[in-house]
Each structure stands twice: as C-alpha cells, then as structure tokens.
Amino acid sequence: MLDTRLTEEQQQLRKTVEAFAREVVAPVSYEHDKAKTFPYAVVAQMADMGLFGLPFPEEVGGMGGDYFALCLVLEELGKVDQSVAMTLEAGVSLGAMPVFRFGTTEQQARFLPDLVAGRALGA
C-alpha cells in the first residue's frame, strides 16, 4: 500500500508557504489583478525563500528538493493567487529546468545562478 503521508519536512514546507500565501500574497492579490500589475515584491520574497531553487540540486544553488515539494508549494500559492503560482511554475519548469537539463556548460554557468535564485525569470 502506498504511504501518502507527508514527511515532517514536507509538512513544514507546506505550512511555511501556506502562511506566506495567506499573509503576503493574499493581501495584495486583488489589487494586482485590478491594476493589472506584476507582483514584483511578492516574487522577490519567493526568491528570498528559495522557492525558485526548490527542485534543483545544491551544487547549482538549489535547495535539493524535488518536484513533489514544488507541487506542495504551488498548491498553497494557488489557493490564494493562481498567477503567483504560475509565475513560480513557469520560472522553474519553463525557465530554469531546461537550462539545467539541456543547457551547455557555458549556458548553465551564465544563466542558472540567477534563475535558480529567482533573480531572473526565464521567458
């Protein structure tokens, strides 16, 4: 039988992001939607939390997590603001991960540090 319980580390990550979403993202979500503005301050705080580096190994500046951990984070963010969740998902899966998996050594050295740290978003 499959054990579907979260580990202590996964529970802590979920709780941390749940609080962040509730206390930081939710209060500004409506105003950003209404004004059609990008939540730069929220994204900067997500970068400070290391969320853009979550599924990457520590050797490239990541947190050494996995995609399940990223999914937990995306679920909690998405409960209050889908656009913030998608910004993280796109930054990781469409921006940084292709460079990590398929980029040349030179491309990885040039782009990964900022992408994994959340200082840049892939486009």
The average pLDDT across 33-57 equals: 98
User: pTM for this structure?
Assistant: 0.93
Residue 3 has pLDDT above 90, yes or no: no
Q: How far apart are CA 62 and CA 113, in angstroms?
A: 9
When the pLDDT of each residue in the chain is averaged and rounded to a whole number, the result is: 96
Q: Which domains does the chain have, with CATH numbers?
A: 8-117 (1.10.540.10)
Looking at residue 2, its pLDDT comes to 65
Looking at residue 37, its pLDDT comes to 97
pLDDT digits (tens, 9 = 90+) for 68-98: 999 999 999 999 999 999 999 999 999 999 9
pLDDT interval class at 1 (50, 70, 90): low
What Cα–Cα distance (Å) separates residue 49 from each residue in 35, 113, 118? 26, 15, 9
Q: How far apart are CA 89 and CA 24, in angstroms?
A: 18
